[in-house]
A and B are shown apart, each in its own frame.
Chain A
Amino acid sequence: AQRVTQPEKLLSVFKGAPVELKCNYSYSGSPELFWYVQYSRQRLQLLLRHISRESIKGFTADLNKGETSFHLKKPFAQEEDSAMYYCASNGAYNTDKLIFGTGTRLQVFP
Protein backbone atom coordinates (compact mmCIF):
# COMPACT_ATOMS: atom_id res chain seq x y z
CA ALA A 1 0.00 0.00 0.00
CA GLN A 2 1.14 3.52 -0.67
CA ARG A 3 2.15 5.24 2.53
CA VAL A 4 3.35 8.54 3.87
CA THR A 5 5.37 8.18 7.04
CA GLN A 6 6.02 10.83 9.66
CA PRO A 7 8.14 9.07 12.28
CA GLU A 8 7.85 11.70 15.02
CA LYS A 9 4.59 12.28 16.83
CA LEU A 10 6.02 15.20 18.79
CA LEU A 11 8.94 17.49 18.20
CA SER A 12 9.88 20.00 20.90
CA VAL A 13 12.42 22.77 20.38
CA PHE A 14 13.31 26.13 21.85
CA LYS A 15 12.71 29.38 20.02
CA GLY A 16 15.54 30.09 17.60
CA ALA A 17 16.55 26.45 17.19
CA PRO A 18 16.50 24.74 13.78
CA VAL A 19 13.57 22.49 13.00
CA GLU A 20 13.28 19.47 10.72
CA LEU A 21 10.03 17.54 10.43
CA LYS A 22 10.58 14.27 8.64
CA CYS A 23 8.41 12.80 5.91
CA ASN A 24 9.03 9.70 3.80
CA TYR A 25 6.85 8.18 1.10
CA SER A 26 6.76 4.61 -0.05
CA TYR A 27 6.54 4.70 -3.83
CA SER A 28 8.65 5.57 -6.84
CA GLY A 29 7.73 7.88 -9.66
CA SER A 30 6.91 11.56 -9.43
CA PRO A 31 4.28 12.13 -6.78
CA GLU A 32 3.09 15.55 -5.78
CA LEU A 33 3.97 16.31 -2.18
CA PHE A 34 2.51 18.77 0.28
CA TRP A 35 2.84 20.01 3.81
CA TYR A 36 -0.37 21.02 5.56
CA VAL A 37 -0.51 22.78 8.93
CA GLN A 38 -3.18 23.09 11.60
CA TYR A 39 -2.72 25.83 14.20
CA SER A 40 -4.65 25.64 17.44
CA ARG A 41 -8.38 26.19 16.88
CA GLN A 42 -7.88 26.80 13.16
CA ARG A 43 -8.69 24.72 10.14
CA LEU A 44 -6.16 22.63 8.28
CA GLN A 45 -4.46 24.64 5.55
CA LEU A 46 -1.77 24.21 2.93
CA LEU A 47 1.68 25.33 4.02
CA LEU A 48 3.64 24.49 0.89
CA ARG A 49 3.89 22.08 -2.02
CA HIS A 50 7.08 20.81 -3.59
CA ILE A 51 6.20 21.86 -7.12
CA SER A 52 6.05 25.52 -6.08
CA ARG A 53 9.56 25.51 -4.63
CA GLU A 54 8.55 28.37 -2.34
CA SER A 55 9.55 29.28 1.16
CA ILE A 56 6.47 29.93 3.29
CA LYS A 57 6.81 31.46 6.77
CA GLY A 58 10.50 30.58 6.59
CA PHE A 59 9.79 26.89 5.94
CA THR A 60 11.26 24.98 3.00
CA ALA A 61 10.96 21.38 1.88
CA ASP A 62 13.09 19.58 -0.67
CA LEU A 63 12.00 16.50 -2.54
CA ASN A 64 14.70 13.82 -2.42
CA LYS A 65 13.67 11.08 -4.82
CA GLY A 66 16.65 8.89 -3.93
CA GLU A 67 15.63 8.81 -0.28
CA THR A 68 11.89 9.21 -1.06
CA SER A 69 11.77 12.02 1.48
CA PHE A 70 10.19 15.45 1.71
CA HIS A 71 11.42 16.85 5.03
CA LEU A 72 10.19 20.25 6.24
CA LYS A 73 12.85 22.59 7.55
CA LYS A 74 13.15 25.95 9.19
CA PRO A 75 16.46 27.40 10.37
CA PHE A 76 15.07 29.38 13.35
CA ALA A 77 11.83 28.25 14.96
CA GLN A 78 9.33 30.77 16.32
CA GLU A 79 6.70 30.24 19.01
CA GLU A 80 3.96 30.84 16.46
CA ASP A 81 5.18 27.81 14.50
CA SER A 82 3.71 25.57 17.20
CA ALA A 83 1.09 23.49 15.38
CA MET A 84 0.26 20.10 13.94
CA TYR A 85 2.01 19.39 10.64
CA TYR A 86 0.87 16.80 8.11
CA CYS A 87 2.80 15.58 5.10
CA ALA A 88 0.67 14.42 2.16
CA SER A 89 1.10 12.96 -1.30
CA ASN A 90 -1.07 11.95 -4.21
CA GLY A 91 0.87 8.72 -4.53
CA ALA A 92 2.16 7.07 -7.67
CA TYR A 93 -0.88 7.89 -9.77
CA ASN A 94 -2.23 11.02 -11.37
CA THR A 95 -5.03 11.66 -8.89
CA ASP A 96 -6.59 14.38 -6.78
CA LYS A 97 -6.75 12.08 -3.76
CA LEU A 98 -4.15 12.66 -1.09
CA ILE A 99 -2.56 10.23 1.32
CA PHE A 100 -1.76 11.91 4.63
CA GLY A 101 0.84 10.99 7.19
CA THR A 102 -0.03 10.62 10.84
CA GLY A 103 1.17 14.12 11.68
CA THR A 104 3.88 15.67 13.84
CA ARG A 105 3.07 18.11 16.60
CA LEU A 106 5.69 20.84 16.80
CA GLN A 107 6.07 22.63 20.12
CA VAL A 108 8.30 25.69 20.22
CA PHE A 109 9.16 26.83 23.73
CA PRO A 110 10.14 30.43 24.54
Chain B
Amino acid sequence: DVKVTQSSRYLVKRTGEKVFLECVQDMDHENMFWYRQDPGLGLRLIYFSYDVKMKEKGDIPEGYSVSREKKERFSLILESASTNQTSMYLCASSTNDQGFSASEQYFGPGTRLTVT
Protein backbone atom coordinates (compact mmCIF):
# COMPACT_ATOMS: atom_id res chain seq x y z
CA ASP B 1 0.00 0.00 0.00
CA VAL B 2 1.10 3.54 -0.71
CA LYS B 3 2.01 5.38 2.40
CA VAL B 4 2.02 9.15 2.54
CA THR B 5 3.00 10.57 5.89
CA GLN B 6 2.95 14.12 7.18
CA SER B 7 5.21 15.30 9.96
CA SER B 8 2.52 16.66 12.27
CA ARG B 9 -1.21 16.12 12.74
CA TYR B 10 -1.67 19.36 14.66
CA LEU B 11 0.47 22.47 14.73
CA VAL B 12 0.02 25.82 16.45
CA LYS B 13 2.21 28.72 15.38
CA ARG B 14 2.33 32.44 15.98
CA THR B 15 1.88 35.12 13.36
CA GLY B 16 5.15 35.86 11.61
CA GLU B 17 6.80 32.53 12.36
CA LYS B 18 8.37 30.47 9.60
CA VAL B 19 6.58 27.13 9.37
CA PHE B 20 7.73 23.90 7.76
CA LEU B 21 5.32 21.11 6.83
CA GLU B 22 6.94 17.87 5.74
CA CYS B 23 5.52 15.12 3.57
CA VAL B 24 7.11 11.77 2.78
CA GLN B 25 5.90 9.06 0.41
CA ASP B 26 7.34 5.57 0.14
CA MET B 27 6.22 4.45 -3.33
CA ASP B 28 8.74 6.21 -5.54
CA HIS B 29 6.07 8.50 -6.99
CA GLU B 30 7.18 11.22 -9.35
CA ASN B 31 4.42 13.70 -8.52
CA MET B 32 3.75 15.33 -5.18
CA PHE B 33 1.18 17.95 -4.25
CA TRP B 34 0.29 20.32 -1.45
CA TYR B 35 -3.34 21.37 -0.95
CA ARG B 36 -5.21 23.29 1.63
CA GLN B 37 -8.67 22.11 2.60
CA ASP B 38 -11.17 24.64 3.88
CA PRO B 39 -14.92 24.17 4.55
CA GLY B 40 -16.96 25.41 1.64
CA LEU B 41 -13.87 25.87 -0.55
CA GLY B 42 -12.87 22.26 -1.09
CA LEU B 43 -9.27 21.42 -1.90
CA ARG B 44 -7.14 24.09 -3.47
CA LEU B 45 -3.74 23.32 -4.95
CA ILE B 46 -0.86 25.31 -3.50
CA TYR B 47 2.11 23.75 -5.30
CA PHE B 48 2.87 20.72 -7.41
CA SER B 49 6.19 18.96 -8.02
CA TYR B 50 6.68 16.52 -10.90
CA ASP B 51 10.31 15.66 -10.20
CA VAL B 52 13.13 16.39 -7.81
CA LYS B 53 13.85 20.13 -7.69
CA MET B 54 10.94 20.79 -10.10
CA LYS B 55 7.85 22.66 -9.02
CA GLU B 56 4.82 24.44 -10.40
CA LYS B 57 2.57 26.97 -8.76
CA GLY B 58 -0.96 25.89 -8.10
CA ASP B 59 -4.00 28.09 -7.65
CA ILE B 60 -3.01 29.74 -4.36
CA PRO B 61 0.80 29.88 -4.05
CA GLU B 62 1.00 33.32 -2.42
CA GLY B 63 2.64 33.17 0.99
CA TYR B 64 4.00 29.66 0.42
CA SER B 65 7.10 28.07 -1.02
CA VAL B 66 8.14 24.46 -1.48
CA SER B 67 11.23 22.34 -1.57
CA ARG B 68 11.83 18.94 -3.14
CA GLU B 69 15.44 17.90 -2.71
CA LYS B 70 14.70 14.16 -2.63
CA LYS B 71 12.11 12.23 -4.57
CA GLU B 72 10.28 10.97 -1.49
CA ARG B 73 10.06 14.26 0.39
CA PHE B 74 8.11 17.42 -0.39
CA SER B 75 8.17 20.32 2.05
CA LEU B 76 5.76 23.23 2.28
CA ILE B 77 7.12 26.42 3.80
CA LEU B 78 5.12 29.33 5.16
CA GLU B 79 7.67 32.12 5.08
CA SER B 80 5.80 34.32 7.57
CA ALA B 81 2.67 32.68 8.90
CA SER B 82 -0.52 34.69 8.97
CA THR B 83 -3.89 33.98 10.54
CA ASN B 84 -5.50 33.48 7.12
CA GLN B 85 -3.22 30.48 6.64
CA THR B 86 -5.00 28.62 9.43
CA SER B 87 -6.23 25.54 7.60
CA MET B 88 -5.96 21.81 7.03
CA TYR B 89 -3.00 21.03 4.77
CA LEU B 90 -3.02 17.85 2.71
CA CYS B 91 -0.11 16.30 0.90
CA ALA B 92 -0.61 13.84 -1.95
CA SER B 93 1.49 11.83 -4.37
CA SER B 94 0.91 10.09 -7.69
CA THR B 95 2.85 8.23 -10.32
CA ASN B 96 3.26 8.82 -14.04
CA ASP B 97 3.26 5.12 -14.89
CA GLN B 98 -0.39 4.21 -15.15
CA GLY B 99 -0.83 5.25 -18.76
CA PHE B 100 -3.39 7.90 -17.91
CA SER B 101 -2.92 11.62 -18.17
CA ALA B 102 -3.90 11.93 -14.50
CA SER B 103 -3.20 9.12 -12.06
CA GLU B 104 -4.81 8.39 -8.73
CA GLN B 105 -3.55 10.67 -6.00
CA TYR B 106 -2.73 9.17 -2.59
CA PHE B 107 -3.24 11.48 0.33
CA GLY B 108 -1.61 11.93 3.68
CA PRO B 109 -3.61 12.28 6.90
CA GLY B 110 -3.36 16.06 6.91
CA THR B 111 -1.85 18.69 9.19
CA ARG B 112 -4.21 21.04 10.94
CA LEU B 113 -2.34 24.30 11.29
CA THR B 114 -3.55 27.07 13.57
CA VAL B 115 -1.85 30.46 13.35
CA THR B 116 -2.58 32.75 16.31
Contact = CB atoms under 8 A, between A and B. Distances in A.
Interface residues of A, number: 24
A100 B104 contact: no
Contacts of A9: 40
Interface string A84-110: 001010100011111111110000000
A43 B93 CA distance: 13
Nearest to B41: A102
Interface stretch (A44-52, A54-62, A66-74): A44-52
Main secondary structure of the interface of B (DSSP, over half): strand
Contact of B42 (A43, A94, A102): A102
A74 B16 CA distance: 47
Residue of A9, A90, A94, A100 with highest tally of chain B CB at under 10 A: A100
Given A97-B58, A102-B41, A103-B42, A44 B48 contact: no
Residue of A97, A101, A102 with highest tally of chain B CB at under 10 A: A97
Contact of A32 (B33, B43, B96, B100): B100
B71 to A, nearest CB: 15
Nearest to A41: B109
A90 B90 contact: no
Interface of A: 6, 9, 32, 34, 36, 43-46, 49, 51, 86, 88, 90, 94-103
30 contacts: A6-B42, A32-B101, A34-B102, A34-B104, A43-B4, A43-B107, A43-B108, A43-B110, A44-B107, A46-B104, A86-B42, A88-B43, A90-B101, A94-B101, A96-B31, A96-B50, A96-B101, A96-B103, A97-B33, A97-B48, A97-B58, A97-B102, A98-B45, A98-B105, A100-B35, A100-B42, A100-B44, A102-B41, A102-B42, A103-B42
